Structure 1
Amino acid sequence: MAAPMASSLQLSMDEMQALKSLPVATQLAAKKALQGSIIDLAALVDFIPLKNTSHFSCLVPVFHATLHSVQVPNSINSRTSPTILRAKWALSGLLKICSDASYDGRDESVTKHIVARWEQIYPWMQFFARNCLPPPYDVSLAPPHPDLCSMFDAAKLSTYPLTLICHNSEEGRHTLRSSVSVQHFVAQLWILIGNLKGDVLKGDPGNTKDGLVSMLRASFALTNYVCVSESEDPDKITLPLSNYIHAAGGVKPVVITLLKYIRRIVRDAVDVPEPRSWTARDQSVKYLHLFTTGLRYSFQFLQTISRQDASCRAQLISRGSIPTVVDAITRISPRILVQVNEEIDFHPHLGLAIRQQVLWTGYSYIASAIRDADDGITGVCQALDAGLLKTLMKAVVCPAHADRRDHPPRGRMGDVELLFLLATFFIYHRVTTSIFRHWFLMENSPIEKPVIRDEGLGIALSLVLTASTDAIRQRNIEPINFYEYRCSGPGCRMRASGFVNKKRRCSGCLILLYCSDKCQRAAWRSGHKKWCQVLRCTVDVETHIRKARQQFPAFSNKLVLMLDMTVFPTEIHVLPLHKVEQFPGKDPIWPEISDEIRERSDSPPKGYMFSVVKVHLGNSKFMLFSPSTALNMAFECQYLSDDEPCVSGDEDEDYDSESQGDPDSE
């Protein structure tokens, strides 16, 4: 079938001469394709082999000339069908040649043949996606005209140019980051692929054993990440993340789709058959690499949107992103943390170091989510309850190849960074409770030196597990304080002996007692919400106070203990009172605290020295003190005065029953 054309497409003399190097049948098909024959244009694409396409690169001008001669129609009908078919086969031929060239390392072919002709190619990519693929948010709808271009072909024509660009063209990646239209296109394709059901698209000829959908998910993860990543050139413009989120339909669809991608890519990776030969040519090895690479870029996209957008960060945590990542790492680790042979283990693209990066990227997201969250405790508990420590215990058997000089130094990458961050939260009740749920399992599975191959992770894990043991033991110690026999409700004179029911102890600080829920709610609204964790942490630093007094006996009542729990192991600094200005950090509250400490320095209560503790809880930071100092500074006016009236009313809108201040009965 030949579409009517004014004249044959014209090539330069050099381009026509280059065609003579092709087989005779291919030359004839090229000549007829230039004259407008769609059948010969399709045959020309079939003549191009899947591998070693460099000899057929002289056909690129034929495909470019074809695309240049046609315009994107507004609709599909009998008059526009020949134009659509001509564009379909021309674009297919370009992708076939550029695909093999990119694997050979000739990255310039993608920039030259696709990016440089973007104004011709991109409108057709949009056309096939809009007219031959289902809508992103309702993939149950059947797209029209499958006989003209199947869903299988439309998916390749719409997505594969983007994949080639992301792998092989810096100029093309800049286009993805800087064009509002392209980002809108990518975002909707990403949503569409995430919503596709099954593993086979309509029109799939069955040449691929596992279907196209699973491979589309894995490969499109890179395209998606490139759109929101920073440009290689700092002078080039990168669109704000809000543009991409808006194009994808908002924060909720982005979060739901991303977590869906992660779960399905992990499923696909786990289902890959065991490699027969563990060589770079083995099909299973290639699939494992494809899926794990897709998982890595999904983790990076996850970390990017979480870091840049507070709404995404909160929505991700509330929808279980941390357990999802922990589960992904747990399931995929046995498939990739394997030592097989030198060809694969030290392969520049398939090697063990590359595979470990996938896991470290996931661990880095968990760490950043906890560190940046308004409520880091919730994130830590989610990670622990998902079995993070058990997963890390299994990871220490990963072959580290420490005897090889070409293996990069491990450093504090991903997993170790996350472990040390977890340890900074061991002072909190909810965290130690989560640890305790899994403690018996950890005790019954001790780490034995003979199986530890990743020594860096093994040492870090041992330190953190020891710290968790100490935290659990400390948590079980009931503190003794001068509120032991009295209700801590504002103005309440009730003594413990007169409590009608069992005494209620605050589960956050483990210090204050209440005779009733009413008094506990009143105390929470009257200030305990602010000081709850402060009080608990002051009890935890008691042992450090004793050591510091022994170290500086001449200043036993005029020392400042500075304990920085934002890092692990904890950093401790002790200074005499007159050097208190040397306390590290620029906390705005510090000058006020420093003045109050000096005012009290003449008569330190109960012989305690003054101590200050810096604790990090998500985005919040607390300045804590020795037990006596904190108790008096926080509550001397509120709880020690019997003349203060009791707060009445049963309103509890400010009382968070799931916070650290929950009542615990003893």
Structure 2
Amino acid sequence: MRAMGALMGLVKVTTVASSASDRGDDVVTKYIVRRWDDIYPWMRFFARNCLPPPYDVSVAPPRPDLCSVFDAATLCITPLSLICTKSEEGRHLLRSSVSVQHFVAQLWILVGNLGGDVLQGDPRTTKDGLVSMLRASFALTNQVCVSESEDPDRITLPLSNYIQAAGGVKAVVSTLLRYIRRIIRDAVAVEEPRSWTTRDRSINQLHLYTVGLHYSFQFLQTVSRQDASCRAQLIRQGSVRTVVNAITQILPRILVQANKELDFHPQLGLADRQNVLWAGYSYIASAIRDADDGVTSVCQAIDAGLLQTLEKGVVCPPHANRRDHPPRGRLGDIELLFLLATFFVYHRVVDSICRHWYRMQSVPMEKREIRDKGLGVALELVLTFTIHAMDHRSVEPINFHEYRCSGPGCPMCTSKFVSKKRRCSGCLVSIYCSEKCQRTAWRNGHKKWCRVLRCTVGPWGSRDIRTSLRVIAGFETNIISGSAKDVETRVREAQQQFPAFSNKLVLMLDMTVYPPEIHVLPVHKIEQFPGNDTIWPEIADEIRQRSDSPPKGYMFSVVKVHLGKSKFTLFSPSTALRMAFEGQYFSDDEAYNSADEDDEDDSKMLGDQDLDYDEESLDDTDGSGDKCYEV
């Protein structure tokens, strides 16, 4: 009891002294951090004996007679909050001590699992609001533990130490998302402010919750960036959806212009409130950029209503006529919008866009005064881009190579295949209904275009790229044709810059940025297209011979896309699809019947290549000797 009284007195005195003094950092460092060896054992004692277990808060504390749950939580959490906000030396202690990080991680799990009726015994605070305030304030301590040190010369513990103490990746992820959902629930429940002043209780409550949400977003981004397992688990558990829902609910409460006193307050001001939103936007952007599968993250964001939420951000709902917005920060809504636009070339994303526009049709149109001009212009550009994406996907037939046998003249649709479908394992694009079609296609040009088609779907053979070739081709054709003058200028500049390679120039359409950029470079400077490979000059010659409007000044075009952190340079989908499948789909079966007549000679030719087939191998091998796998 004497230890509890002494520790509680020290915490209260330090809290008051640090708030009243201009040198609060020195007070906390002197009386808490530098006496940590005396204080910390008692904090662990009260946590172990007077708090419920972190992973099962329904279990009663081992020694409830020592002190109440509320007093134990105060003794364990308040010193940590003080050193996080007031002492640089204390923050380094949290980042560098294994035992302290274990202690903080278990407290964080405990607070995340507490219900509203657990902390009783405080006569000054209602039990319903106490846990909510504790959860919001403890988010800072948690973020400090895993953040990088302010001093680059000081060692910071790896994130794995914290994850292990918290019970593993799944425990960290589920608790973090639970924190965000509960903080949002509490913030939305705050009563509407009456006076819109810094003394209003609702304003201060809302500030506490938004600050807790801000640090939770930062913690989310930190663990996602530092640990690949956490990043993947967050995406699987719908972290992007959770953050979008949080921003959607909190935006009307904090994106409010009130008056000069409040809007430009150093802590409660509008700029600081907007930073909370941008912290969430920054996590969504990092989840898309850093993931192996950024398409899934983009679909989650659009399906959760991110585009509708950003549309609401162009105005301030109440009191919008008082003052203009403070200057926009970086890593915010516009950057996220432009990042989303770079994924509109994917079929799955266009499906999400279609669902977005379907939802918008059922919402009555409201005439809004756009006060955030920058966001308004960016939003208009991106929404126009979504319409272009839907137009490109609606071109018939959609990815015809996916729904019809690629054998020359074969009228068979994949839905009518009697035997197993065979996909060429070389290009991953062509599908055949039989061995006969495989052989016929090989000698009718697939031998050459197989490799080119593989360069069109990328080295990984991503299904997202393969099923989106027509959408990518649509963007490629429209952008290049709509930038004819820019293309001519780029070609002339490249010819002057690379005079020795003026006949080996390639136009690259960079779709990894928005708006897309056009570059002209020698073929040997383009990834996946070695300059000394003879196939590319041959392909360029064939393009010029077979095209009604061959490219002027360059061999062919390529498109640069990304799936997240991986970027791929693809051979022109519009050219590859047109050239590789040109003339294969006839209105009659003449070509196909003529192929039957030469089947015996073709078998002899294949036999000369030592390609012997037995009954089993017919299901997985094409006429080229390349393996085919079943669809």
2:572 match: 626
Distance in 2, Cα, partners of 1:320 & 1:628: 35
1:248-287 superposed matches below 5 A: 248-287=166-205
Q: How many angstroms apart in 2 are the aligned matches of 1:159 and 1:656?
A: 59
Residue matched to 1:43: none
Please state whether the residue corresponding to 2:508 is helix, strand or coil: strand
Matches of 1:114 and 1:479, distance apart in 2 = 71
Note closer, same or farther for the CA distance 1:116–1:612 as it changes in structure 2 (3 Å cut): same
Question: 1:141-152, aligned counterparts within 5 Å?
Answer: 141-152=59-70
Alignment map for 1:443-592 (pairs within 5 Å)? 451-478=369-396, 487-488=405-406, 495-496=410-411, 501=416, 530=461, 533=465, 535-536=469-470, 537-547=472-482, 552=488, 560-574=506-520, 579-581=522-524, 587=527, 589-591=528-530
Write out per-residue CA displacement over residues 368-401 of structure 1, whole angstroms, 9 at most, x where no aligned residue.
Answer: 0011111111100011111111111111113899
Deviation at 1:542, TM superposition (A): 2.0
1:648 aligned partner: 619
Counterparts in 2 of 1:324-363, with a 5 A limit? 324-363=242-281
Q: Residue 359 of structure 1 aligns to a residue in which SS?
A: helix
Q: CA deviation at 1:412?
A: 4.6
Partner of 1:430: 348
State yes or no: 1:138 paired with 2:84: no
- Indicate the larger mover: 154-163 or 599-608: 599-608
- Kept in 1: contact 2:422–2:620 (CA 8 A): no
Deviations, residues 399-440 of structure 1 (Å, cap 9, x unaligned)? 8999979x7531553211111000000010110110101214
Alignment-derived partner of residue 103 in structure 1: 19
Give the superposition deviation at 1:277. Answer: 1.6
Distance 1:127 1:632 in 2: 74
Q: Distance in 1 between matches of 2:141 and 2:152?
A: 20
Which 5+ residue runs of structure 2 have no aligned equivalent? 439-445, 496-501, 586-591, 607-612, 622-627
CA drift at 1:557: 9.8
SS at match of 1:496: coil
TM-superposition CA deviations, 1:301-355 (whole Å, max 9, x none): 0000001111000000000101100111111111111111111111000011111
Compute the TM-score of the two structures, normalised by the length of structure 2: 0.78
Q: Is the 8 A contact 2:291 2:564 kept in 1?
A: yes
Note the 1:140-289 alignment, pairs <5 A.
Answer: 140-208=58-126, 210-289=128-207
Q: Which residue is 2:8 aligned to?
A: 92
- CA distance in structure 2 between the partners assigned to 1:179 and 1:633 by the alignment: 63
Secondary structure at the aligned position of 2:560 is classed as strand
Cα distance between partner residues in 1 of 2:525 and 2:321? 42
Closer/same/farther in 2, CA of residues 143 and 92 from structure 1, 3 Å limit: same
Who is 2:558 aligned against? 612
Inter-partner Cα distance in structure 2 for 1:484 and 1:530: 14
Matched residue, 2:537: 598
1:110 Cα shift?
0.9
CA contact under 8 A between 1:505 and 1:511: conserved in structure 2?
A: no
Q: Number of paired residues?
A: 551
Give how far 1:570 is off.
1.0
The verdict on how the C-alpha distance between 1:466 and 1:594 changes in structure 2, with shifts beyond 3 A counting, is farther
Distance change >3 Å, CA 594–CA 628, structure 1 → 2:
farther
Q: Write the distance in 1 (CA, Å) between the matches of 2:181 and 2:430.
A: 44
Compared with structure 1, are the counterparts of its residues 222 and 103 closer, same or farther at alpha carbon in structure 2 (3 Å cutoff)? same
Contact 1:177 1:239 in 2 (8 A): yes
Please report the RMSD computed on the Cα atoms of aligned residues, expressed in angstroms: 4.0
Is the partner of 2:559 in helix, strand or coil?
Answer: strand
Match of 1:38 in 2: none
Contact 1:485 1:497 survives alignment (8 Å): no
SS in 2 for 1:427: coil
Please tell me whether the aligned partners of residues 483 and 513 of structure 1 are also in contact (alpha carbons under 8 angstroms): yes
**1:79 maps to which residue?**
none
Contact persistence 2:117–2:127 (CA under 8 A): no
Q: Summarize the alignment of residues 288-299 of structure 1 with structure 2, pairs less than 5 Å apart.
A: 288-299=206-217
Shift in Å at residue 223 of structure 1?
A: 0.3
Shift in Å at residue 274 of structure 1?
1.7
Cα 1:264–1:594 shift into 2, 3 Å: farther
In 1, the alpha carbon distance for the partners of 2:180 and 2:363 equals: 29
Q: Of residues 290, 297, 314 in structure 2, which corresponds to 1:396?
A: 314
Describe the shift of the 1:563–1:142 C-alpha distance in structure 2 as closer, same or farther (beyond 3 A).
same
CA distance in 2, matches of 1:144, 1:386: 44
* Inter-partner Cα distance in structure 2 for 1:140 and 1:333: 34
Deviations 1:630-665 (A, max 9, x none): 3499899x9999968785169xxx9899xxxxxxxx
Say if 1:647 and 1:303 are closer, same or farther in 2 by CA, change over 3 A. farther
Match of 1:591, SS state, is coil
Q: Distance in 2 between matches of 1:143 and 1:302?
A: 30
Partners of 1:484 and 1:413 in 2: CA distance: 39
Post-superposition Cα deviations, 1:36-76, rounded to whole Å, max 9, x if no partner, equal xxxxxxxxxxxxxxxxxxxxxxxxxxxxxxxxxxxxxxxxx
Per-residue Cα deviation, 1:100-122 (whole angstroms, up to 9, x for no partner) = 23333423211111111111111
Percent identity, please: 65
- Quick one: structure 1 residues 531 and 208, their matched pair in 2 at CA, closer, same or farther if it must change by over 3 Å? closer
Q: Is the 8 A contact 2:524 2:532 kept in 1?
A: no
The 8 Å contact of residues 614 and 622 in structure 1, kept in 2 or not, is answered as yes
What CA distance in whole angstroms lies between the structure 2 residues aligned with 1:137 and 1:119? 27
- Cross-structure match for 1:77: none
Secondary structure class of the residue paired with 1:137: coil
CA distance in 1, matches of 2:119, 2:532: 66
Q: Would the alpha carbon gap of residues 612 and 384 (structure 1) be closer, same or farther in structure 2, given more than 3 Å must change? A: same
User: CA deviation digits over 1:130-174, x for unaligned, max 9?
Assistant: 111011111111013323211110000001100011111100000
Deviation at 1:205, TM superposition (A): 2.9
Q: Give, in whole Å, the separation in 1 of the partners of 2:248 and 2:212.
A: 16
User: Within 2, Cα distance between the matches of 1:195 and 1:423?
Assistant: 38
Give the secondary structure class of the aligned counterpart of 1:530. Answer: coil
Deviations 1:238-264 (A, max 9, x none): 111111101111101000100000001
Q: How does 1:44-83 map to 2 (within 5 A)?
A: none
- Matched residue of 1:451: which SS? coil
Tell me, in whole angstroms, the C-alpha distance in 1 between the residues paired with 2:232 and 2:382: 27
CA contact (8 A) 1:337 1:355 kept: yes
- Give distance in 2, aligned partners of 1:287 and 1:107: 25
**What is the rounded CA distance, in whole Å, between the counterparts of 1:149 and 1:362 in structure 2?**
39
Judged with a 3 Å threshold, the aligned counterparts in structure 2 of structure 1 residues 268 and 199 are, in CA distance, closer, same or farther, namely farther
Cα distance, 1:484 vs structure 2: 9.9
The whole-number CA distance in structure 2 between the counterparts of 1:224 and 1:119 is: 21
- CA 1:618–1:600: 2 relative to 1, 3 Å: same
Secondary structure of 1:231's counterpart equals coil
Q: Determine the C-alpha separation between the residues in 2 that align with 1:505 and 1:548.
A: 40
Whose relative contact order is higher, 1 or 2, with alpha carbons under 8 Å and at least 6 apart? Answer: 2
Q: Which runs of 5+ in 1 are unaligned?
A: 1-84, 658-666
Contact 1:531 1:634 in 2 (8 A): no
Alpha-carbon contact 1:500-1:515 (below 8 Å) kept: no
Q: Do residues 318 (structure 1) and 233 (structure 2) align? A: no
| Distance in 2 between residues matched to 1:656 and 1:174, nearest whole Å | 57
Q: Tell me which amino acid in the other structure corresponds to 1:648.
A: D
